[in-house]
Amino acid sequence: MSKQEDLIPLQASHVAQHTNGHIKSDWSVELNKTDEKILEFPSTYTDAEVFKIMDFAKKYELEALNIGINFAKKQGNVYLKSIIDEQLKIIELLKSDNERLAKALETEMFKNIVEE
């Protein structure tokens, strides 16, 4: 698995609820490394409800990230293809100029040989 800093927030988070006697605190969603709170749920939510919500959110956060990555890759490929196509056009123009210059040089070389 990648380093925690490379993960998107919900993928690198946990839920916590603290109890003081019989009084439960609100649920908090916290980042694993820093314990920074990113969301709270009421204390009235059951364990099953909170974990079901978190599983849902983590699943779709990861799917959205992957969709975004795939979209960016496709856009990058389109952009790179346009650059490659432009470079191929330039190469063809340079080849044509190179052939023209080679013929002109050859003509001049033969002209000088004939004149001598």
What number of CA atoms fall less than 13 Å from residue 26's CA on the CB side? 9
Q: Is 44 inside a domain boundary?
A: yes
Question: Around Cβ 41, how many Cβ atoms within 10 Å?
Answer: 16
The pTM assigned to this predicted structure is 0.56
* Residue 88 within any structural domain of the chain: yes
What is the domain count for the chain? 1
Residues 63-99 have pLDDT tens digits of 998 999 999 988 888 889 999 999 999 999 999 999 9
The token pair at 96 is: 């044509």
- The residue segments making up the domain with residue 48 are 9-115
Asked, for residue 4, whether it belongs to a domain, the answer is: no
DSSP category for residue 21: T
Q: How far apart (Å, rounded) are the C-alpha atoms in residues 27 and 20?
A: 13
Dihedral of CA 78/84/86/89: which sign? negative
Does a structural domain hold residue 2? no
H or E segment and range at residue 83: helix 47-115
Q: 8 and 61 in contact (C-beta within 8 Å)? A: yes
Per-residue pLDDT tens for 59-70? 998 999 899 999
Whether 3 is in a domain gets the answer no
